[in-house]
C-alpha cells in the first residue's frame, strides 16, 4: 500500500474538482512510482463530488468498508496484477482557483452526426480536452437544459496519453441510454484508445 496527498485548485468559478483533474493527479503519481510502459486498462470512476484536497491510497487489496467516503477510484493493471487508486477527501481546504475556459474547444470542434472532432492546439491533458468536447457535443445534440458530468473514463494504456498536442482528437457516440447516460469511443490520430461516459443530472 502506498499513500499520497493530492492538492488541487478549482477551475474558474467551480467549487468542486472536475473528474479529469482528479484522474490527471492520479496519473501523475503513477508516472512517478510505476513503469508507465506496463500500465494498462486504466479505469476512472467518479463516486462523489470532491470539494477539498484529497488523500490517495494505491493498493492491490481493496475493501470498500475500509474507507468512509470514496470520492473517486482509478483501477489499472501491471503484469496481470490489478491495482486500486482510491481518492478520499482530506480536511485541507482548496485555497486557489485558476481561470478556465472551454471556448477554444467549443469554437474549434466540429460536430458531424454522432461524432465530434477537435484538432488539439492546447497544452491541456487529453482528459480535460475530451471532457470539454463531450460536454459541448451533448449540449448541442441532446440537451443543454441540464448538467452533464463525466462519470467514467477508460484508457487502454498509459503511453497513449503522453502528448496529444497537435493531435486529432475524436469522440464518437457509441451508446445513448435514454438520454441519461452516454458512452463514447475516444480516438487520437485515428487510434482507438478508450471510452468516455457521461451522466445527465
Nearest-CA neighbor of 9 among 71, 72, 53, 55?
53
Residue 148 sits in a domain whose CATH number is: 3.10.129.10
- Number of structural domains (the chain) is 2
Grid cell locating 100: 478556465
Mark whether 69 and 105 lie in a shared domain: no
Confidence category of residue 201, pLDDT binned at 50, 70, 90? confident
Domain span at 141: 101-200
Q: What is the pLDDT of residues 51-67, one digit of tens each?
A: 999 999 999 998 877 78
Q: What is the pLDDT of residues 76-127, one digit of tens each?
A: 999 999 999 999 999 999 999 999 889 999 999 999 999 999 999 998 999 9
Grid cell locating 108: 474549434
Asked if 9 and 58 count as a contact pair (C-beta separation under 8 A), the reply is no
Mark whether 132 and 46 lie in a shared domain: no
Nearest-CA neighbor of 167 among 125, 137, 135?
125
Reported as type and span, the H/E element at residue 97 is: strand 97-98
Cα separation of the two ends of the chain: 35
Predicted confidence (pLDDT) at residue 144 exceeds the cutoff of 80: no
User: For residue 27, how many other CB atoms are within 10 A of its CB?
Assistant: 23
Confidence category of residue 44, pLDDT binned at 50, 70, 90? very high
Confidence category of residue 157, pLDDT binned at 50, 70, 90? very high
pTM: 0.93
Cα–Cα distance, 22 to 4 (Å, whole number): 13
Tell which of 52, 67, 97 closes a domain.
97
Grid cell locating 8: 488541487
Q: Please give the C-alpha separations between residue 73 and each of 3, 135, 167, in angstroms, as whole numbers.
A: 14, 21, 28
Q: What percent of the chain has pLDDT over 90?
A: 83
Predicted confidence (pLDDT) at residue 27 exceeds the cutoff of 90: yes
Amino acid at each position: 500500500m502506498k499513500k499520497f496527498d493530492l492538492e488541487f485548485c478549482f477551475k474558474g468559478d467551480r467549487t468542486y474538482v472536475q473528474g479529469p483533474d482528479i484522474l490527471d493527479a492520479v496519473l501523475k503519481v503513477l508516472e512517478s512510482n510505476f513503469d508507465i510502459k506496463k500500465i494498462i486498462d486504466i479505469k476512472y470512476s467518479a463516486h462523489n463530488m470532491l470539494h477539498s484536497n484529497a488523500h490517495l491510497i494505491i493498493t492491490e487489496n481493496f475493501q470498500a468498508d475500509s474507507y468512509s467516503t470514496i470520492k473517486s477510484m482509478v483501477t489499472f493493471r501491471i503484469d496481470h496484477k490489478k491495482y486500486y487508486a482510491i481518492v478520499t477527501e482530506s480536511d485541507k481546504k482548496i485555497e486557489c482557483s485558476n481561470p478556465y475556459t472551454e471556448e477554444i474547444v467549443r469554437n474549434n470542434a466540429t460536430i458531424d452526426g454522432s461524432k465530434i472532432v477537435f484538432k488539439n492546439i492546447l497544452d491541456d491533458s487529453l482528459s480535460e480536452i475530451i471532457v470539454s468536447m463531450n460536454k459541448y457535443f451533448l449540449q448541442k445534440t441532446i440537451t443543454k437544459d441540464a448538467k452533464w458530468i463525466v462519470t467514467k473514463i477508460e484508457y487502454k494504456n498509459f503511453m497513449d496519453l503522453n502528448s496529444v498536442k497537435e493531435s486529432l482528437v475524436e469522440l464518437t457516440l457509441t451508446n445513448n441510454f435514454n438520454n441519461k447516460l452516454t458512452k463514447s469511443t475516444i480516438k487520437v490520430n485515428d487510434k482507438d484508445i478508450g471510452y468516455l461516459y457521461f451522466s445527465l443530472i
